[in-house]
Chains A and B, each alone.
Chain A
Amino acid sequence: MPAVVHELIPIDMLRVNESARIAEVHGPQPLVQRLEELGLREGTVIRLVKTGEPLLLAVNGHRLSFRADSSTMIFVEPISVEQARSS
């Protein structure tokens, strides 16, 4: 098995049912703070429930809908190697 490459991807690049750990949250400070309060912060494991705009995430057993703008970006690190992105 090849060595696992830790790759950071924007959250909207995840596939349905893929889990990932949030690595970086960029954006205007008040928004980042709100996201963190809602659980979208570094280290949280999330699962993508539904792709699209906005996307649907499972965070700690709860459902969050999220759509970023050009100044906001969440980078995640996919967890399951088997489900690595095909594209």
Chain B
Amino acid sequence: MSVTDPTSTATRPLTVALIGNPNTGKSTLFNALTGGKARIGNFPGVTVEKKTGKFQHDGRDVLLVDLPGTYSLAPRSADEMVSVDVLLGRQQEIGKPDAVVCIVDASNLERNLYLFSQIRDLRIPVVLVLNMWDIAQSRGIQIDLDQLRERTQAVIVTTSAAKRVGIEDVRTAIIAATGAEAFTPVKLFPESFYREADSLGEWLTEQGLGEVPFYLRERMLLDVHGETEHRVSLKANDDLSHYLKEARARLASEGCRIPLVETKARYDWIRTLLDGVIERTSPEEQQTGSDRIDRILTHRVWGLLFFALLMFVVFQAIYTWAGPFMEMVEWLQQLITDAVQAVIAPGTLRSLVVDGIIAGVGSVVIFLPQIVLLFLFIAIMEDCGYMARAAFLMDKLMTRIGLSGKSFLPLMSSFACAIPGVMATRVIENRRDRMVTMLIAPLMSCSARLPVYLLMVAAFIPGTTWLGGWIGLQGMVLFGMQAMGALVAIPVAWLLKKTLFPGETPPFVMELPPYKWPSVRIVFQRVYDQAKAFLVRAGTLIFCVTVLIWAAGYFPADHTRLHANQAEQEQVEATLAEEETSERLEELEAEARILSANAIRESFLGRAGMVVEPAVKPLGWDWRIGVGAIASFPAREVIIATMGTIFSLGGDVDEEDASLMQTLRTATWPDGTPLFTIPVALSIMVFFALCAQCGATLMVIRRETNSWRWPIFTFVYMTLLAYLGALVVYQVGTRLMT
């Protein structure tokens, strides 16, 4: 095949769509083709990620559009509709694709070609990529490519994308395919079906519903209550549903049963297509390496034990490995503070920079190492294939509370962040299940809670260790906190399932991909994206809240005496040699502490805090923690920043070690008793484990449910749980300690 008309189209960039079943190496191929440089956005109106990339070949610019992984082009939801819209050129932003690359797993052609057969019906030039060619060959699968090319009339390329083999061939094939004639689809269905599709077209035009592409008319007939029907129905009321019902009845009477006819016709086509093309030299029955691993990892006892142990190790590791990196961040923060103090004289500006920005943002950034480690573990578990096994194991437990293993993946990713978790609930077909999963997802211990736990644990939980330092009390408390949300979610889910969303436990079907070594590139990419998102949030949202909190805590008190005091302190310090102290300096320090404590009490923040204090006192909190908790409504980790700012403004900062941890250890009630005790630290952690302090998650729930009712419901039930939980922990804890 050759480029037929190079002159007219040579200047225009080509648009090429990439589609394939899940677990076929689609993302790997996308990255290999585009060199990993992708632009991520959203398709207008829906929440499907739009990933595009560019490459050049033979002097042509190619825009590659990555479509979501799917088993079929029968749209059941608005999200699945996006792929069909892109392929039919109905996505304005992208335009009609010049070709589509359909990637399939060469070792599983029987099933993967189902999607390919639907793509053929779209009348777009197709490049069929048989990926994982090396694996297919090592399994003794022989494919007669020439025969296959002849029978499908498609451009076929073989690749091993993970090893970067055959990528150049794909590029060449894409250019070749775009110039080729699009083949006319083979008619797979009975003639009566096509007649019905034609008359449907006429009927739609009569109804003034405009021209509907042939493929979409086919889909309307084939997908009972599918997305195509739903979308047009919005304009045609119930008339369309009635019409389709009658049309399907007419077809059934002629022996063409909807929707059975589609799977049957397509699989029959595939069977004849592959007859004599594929030869398996090694028998199918063979036990694979994955099977041997699965015998242990999916075992009802060993599997669960391994899972629990793995989780335990992960959280222990997060705690111990991140230490040195955190010290580096802390050191850097101190360096910047010193530099600023050397440049800016005591006053409002210095207070804004040191107490507001550095103390606030710095106290959040310090947790970057831990967050990177958590995402690293999740990315590795996902990429090596273990996540699917975990879902399989969890299905057993999930059915007890009326959910299925399908809910496991969204809940597990909620351990990193509830936002992708809530979005991932889309894989759950059952609406009731999806709702329940979505409403409990924010209870999972996300990475934004991690900073709160880490700070409290490091500051107030004794560093006792056992077994030569391998198991520590701090790590165990951290693990307990991480597990608590999930444990609380169990009765919550059970209740929701009994009351608001009653229904039977839905069936569960999921593919377990073979185990493989995680790809460094993919794992790195995911960790990098998440780390970047975390830092961007620290630099924007948290920065803004921090400055606001600082202002509310600084004004309207009079700071002239305090600033004069600070200036004198620095003068005195300058005259002293290192390690030397003077009475005057100590006097000044004591005075400064009283001055700043008074200043913050008189500020807007302090006044608001006094109002709040009675409500949070039963939790063991003073007004500063209370104000911090309220100010952290936009995002949980803000509590760290606000506490950093409030306690720094309040003058509770130790001169030797300005870190927030030290500050909190020395913080006191007005009567001088320590503010933080172990029960107070636990009560704060429990509150943040269960509360819904995350504006972004609530917005995502609103978007996904299309109603304000559910985010409000989530916020109310979680806040109540959080308050009660913190209350019980503090009250019981205090009684046990005394």
Contacts and interface: CB of A to CB of B under 8 A. Distances in A.
Contacts of A67: 395, 399, 404-405, 507-509
A54 B395 contact: yes
A39 B510 CA distance: 11
A64 interface: yes
Interface stretch (B49-57, B69-77, B699-707, B723-731): B69-77
Nearest to A47: B285
**Which of B114, B300, B405, B507 has most chain A Cβ within 10 Å?**
B507
A50 B429 contact: no
A25 to B, nearest CB: 10
Contacts of A70: 504
Contacts of A47: 284-285
Nearest to A72: B507
Contacts of A58: 284
A53 interface: yes
Interface string B251-271: 000000001001110010000
B654 to A, nearest CB: 55
B110 interface: yes
**Which of A27, A31, A49, A62 has most chain B Cβ within 10 Å?**
A62
**Which of B71, B74, B396, B509 has most chain A Cβ within 10 Å?**
B509
B507 A68 contact: yes
B437 interface: no
Contact of B504 (A29, A40, A54, A69): A69
Contacts of A65: 388, 391-392, 395, 405, 508-512
B509 A63 contact: no
Interface residues of B, number: 44
A52 B300 contact: yes
Contacts of A7: none
Interface string B370-402: 000000000000000000100110011001000
B448 to A, nearest CB: 32
B505 interface: yes
B279 interface: no
B224 interface: yes
Given A19-B285, A70-B504, A30 B76 contact: yes
A71 B507 CA distance: 9
B526 interface: no
B68 to A, nearest CB: 15
Contacts of B198: none
Contacts of B291: 49, 63
Interface of A: 17, 19, 27, 29-31, 33-43, 47, 49-50, 52-54, 56, 58-72
20 contacts: A30-B429, A36-B263, A37-B72, A37-B111, A38-B71, A38-B509, A40-B509, A49-B294, A50-B294, A52-B300, A53-B399, A54-B392, A54-B508, A58-B284, A60-B284, A62-B108, A63-B513, A65-B388, A65-B405, A65-B508
